[in-house]
Amino acid sequence: MADSAAAPPAPLPPTAAAPPEPAPSTSTSSTSASAPAPPQPTLDRDARKLIRAGDNVLLKLPSGVLKPIKLNPASCISLGKYGTFTGGELVGKAYGHTYEVRDGGKLQQLRVTLNEIEETEANNEFIASQGAQTLSPDEIQALKDSGLSGREIIQKQIEEHKSFELKTEYSKEKYLKRKEAKWMQVFTPLEPTVHQMAQFHFDKQPSKTRELRPDTLANMLAMANVRPGSRLLVVEDMGGMIVAAAVERMGGKGRIMVVNDADSPPDLHLLDTFNFGAAETSPIVSLHWAATDPSWSPPDLPLEAAKRNNSRDVQKLKKRRAAFDKAREAREEFLTGGFDGVIIAAEYEPYSVIERLLPRIGGSASVVVYSPHLPLLLPVLLRLRQHPAIIAPTIHEPFLRQYQVLPGRAHPEMQGMASGGYILSMVRVWENDEANAVGVGRTRGKRKAGARDGAAASGTRTSKEVGGDEAARKRAKVEDDAAGASATGDSMVVDGEAA
């Protein structure tokens, strides 16, 4: 949805400053006499409500551009024409508020309000298309060079605009919004959530995340039933975007197993652009494709370095042994199976990946495949329809429409977004060779006919024959009602069949 903007009336009033932020409390709680419990890794979501030193922050500029930064309190952050300030000014401030860069690089929080706009008799009919602004570009630049603030420059432009009062209230607000985006030195720090980062990469470089849109990613997580405590298999080549989304959704509980073809750990560099803690990323383990084969045997761990007295070689051996044990445990967990969700978003051929992972997927588990191109999923869909362990394979194309939501001006945006890719979803079921299909449809009619023939041969009468003319009249009445319903577009069920 479109972001709400401030709507100050003309002439432009000074922006009210927010009350000073309270200083952090220095009081400490008393300790109990009992022995303290051992420290447990906890999630620091409450601490992430405020900006901390070393955090990744997205700065939203008035032009709508997002600028990612790594906050260093001692560094100087330049926003171009929107001002310059030191990173320490942001430490301890809240995400989502709008700040103005003042003289000396100081930040002041602004109050952004939504004002109800009253309809007037103005209709922009008498506004000249050119010449309404008497200030020339050189004069406006001279005002800027003289040291006037952006708010004062906007006020000068309003005063020298011949037709400003003839504009409608909606036109006035749009005018002010354009001028504020050009002259005001303001920005809004945003927390790098999965939605924000997915939107950032989709707008800036879609190919980096295979043209994955934020709403498409949300649909994939919902279809794969990603939740705290779930055991998820992930096959992706987006730099860790799918893994980051699962980490945010699972909250440090469960298991995220990344299957890749790299001898080293998988490429998950996008995880570094978030503010995840060690407790949240602890469920992530990786596994090489070769290790997914039950007949594969891991290479022997070299132990020659253990006989040496070189401490550096000993430390290398310890790290190698720890990585070896971690890979062995991941493989054992994979071979145990029972995973309750699979997400595939890579350039691999999807059907072969599903075939390899299928024995390790639990019953009723959801399998989700993403691709930016529909022709890559259609052959997979046709083959999966014949697979005995897969039901309900379906291709989805997510549709997104953005809306502007403002008082009295809620409407869809004039420009839509590009395609967000395609999702192939399915459910894994256990095969049962002894199961028999239950006859439906015309089989029922054959059974009725067989029952009538058997009754005639034995000399008995069926229940329908006992009903006589009364049953025939009821049947005719139902058929007449069905004919009337079909003429009006409704549907009825007659004796188990749609009329």
Average pLDDT, the chain: 79
Cα–Cα–Cα angle for 45, 48, 49, nearest 5°?
A: 100
User: Region 452-471: what's the mean pLDDT?
Assistant: 52
Cis, bond preceding 11 (omega within 30 deg of 0): yes
What integer pLDDT is reported at residue 367 of this predicted model? 98
Strand-pairing partners, residue 52, are: none
Stated pTM of the model: 0.74
- Of the pLDDT bands very low, low, confident and very high (cuts 50, 70, 90), residue 196 is very high
Nearest to 233 by CA among 280, 286, 272: 286
Residue 299 has pLDDT above 90, yes or no: no
The two domains 47-188 and 194-428 share their CATH topology (first three levels equal): no
- Percentage of the chain beyond pLDDT 70 is 72
Cα–Cα–Cα angle for 459, 462, 464, nearest 5°?
A: 145
| 122 compared with 283, residue with greater pLDDT | 283
- Of the pLDDT bands very low, low, confident and very high (cuts 50, 70, 90), residue 269 is very high
Q: Worst-scoring range by mean pLDDT, 51-60, 111-120, 177-186?
A: 111-120
Q: Where are the domains of the chain?
A: 47-188, 194-428, 437-464, 468-499
Residue 234 has pLDDT above 50, yes or no: yes
CA distance 344 to 220: 10
Query: Measuring CA to CA, how many Å separate 132 from each of 128, 137, 241?
Result: 6, 13, 49
Q: Worst-scoring range by mean pLDDT, 64-78, 150-164, 298-312, 373-387?
A: 298-312
The 10 Å Cβ neighbour count of residue 369 is 28
Helices (H) and strands (E) in the chain, counts: 13, 18
**CATH level 2 (architecture), domain 47-188:** Roll (3.10)
Strand-pairing partners, residue 403, are: 412
Residue 75 has pLDDT above 90, yes or no: yes
Beta strands 84-86 and 76-78 are antiparallel
The 10 Å Cβ neighbour count of residue 182 is 15
What integer pLDDT is reported at residue 9 of this predicted model? 38
CA distance 241 to 266: 12
What integer pLDDT is reported at residue 35 of this predicted model? 38
CATH T-level assignment (fold) for domain 194-428: Rossmann fold (3.40.50)
What integer pLDDT is reported at residue 479 of this predicted model? 59
CA distance 36 to 177: 56
| 23 compared with 334, residue with greater pLDDT | 334
CA distance 153 to 176: 12
